[in-house]
Amino acid sequence: MTERIREVILSEFQQRPIAASTLTIQPGPHSLVGIHTNMFVDATEQVFDMELLGQNLRIVATPTEFEWFYGDGASFGPSPVPGGPLPEDRWGEQTPTSHVFTDTGDYAVSVTTYFSGEYSVNGGPTIPIDGRASVSTPAQTVSIWRSESRNVADDCIGNPSGFGC
């Protein structure tokens, strides 16, 4: 009987409407080939109260790992690192969750957040749930551009067929 109750609680945990993490891309929605594009998520603990099998049940879902999908075939994780924001003057620096795109194009970036759970029955002690739930963020598109700079000797008025005119 105890095993059946654990299965029901795991099923309830995995079916809860756990909110997806919030994904942020820096710089975004555009970045450049060859630089580190920083990405991070904001994930929060979530609590669900319900009645199950005639008992008051509280389930707590805690984000514990993150798996990054960069849209170009590369991925990172699962890792306990959610990443973090960089000040604008440090964009392009490597972070644990940054990624360097090698080609121009539009890439769909997403993250799967894995939640561990625990429950209590009728306000009793918390018990770990044997299993976890996974929730994916909606994909965000980052456009990767190539940048070129050139020195020119004159402007378009003096040379209308010059570079950039």
**pLDDT tens for residues 71-84?**
999 999 999 999 99
**pLDDT above 90 coverage of the chain, percent:** 73
Residue 162 pLDDT greater than 50, yes or no:
yes
* CA pair distance 97, 35, nearest whole angstrom: 13
Instruction: Quote the pLDDT of residue 165.
Output: 80
**Rg (the chain; Cα; Å):** 23
Instruction: Quote the pLDDT of residue 1.
Output: 46
**Letter for the amino acid at 155?**
D
Query: pTM score, two decimals?
Result: 0.84
Instruction: Quote the pLDDT of residue 17.
Output: 94
The separation between CA 17 and the C-alpha centre of its own chain, rounded to angstroms, equals 17
Tokens describing residue 14: 């995995």
Domains of the chain: 2-145 (2.60.40.10)
Nearest to 107 by CA among 76, 133, 81, 69: 69
Listed in sequence order, the residues at least 6 apart from 50 whose beta carbon sits closer than 8 Å to its beta carbon are 12, 56, 57, 59
Region 46-56: what's the mean pLDDT?
90
Listed in sequence order, the residues at least 6 apart from 86 whose beta carbon sits closer than 8 Å to its beta carbon are 26, 38, 93, 95
pLDDT, one tens digit per residue, over 121-142 is: 899 999 999 889 999 999 999 9
pLDDT, one tens digit per residue, over 6-34 is: 888 888 888 889 999 999 999 989 999 99
Task: Please state, rounded to an integer, the average pLDDT across all residues of the chain.
Answer: 92
pLDDT, one tens digit per residue, over 61-107 is: 999 999 999 999 999 999 999 999 999 999 999 999 999 999 999 99
Contact 126, 119 (CB under 8 A): yes
Instruction: Quote the pLDDT of residue 78.
Output: 97
Our CA angle for 44, 46, 52, nearest 5°, is: 165
CA dihedral 69, 73, 79, 85 (to 10 degrees): -50
* CA pair distance 16, 120, nearest whole angstrom: 16
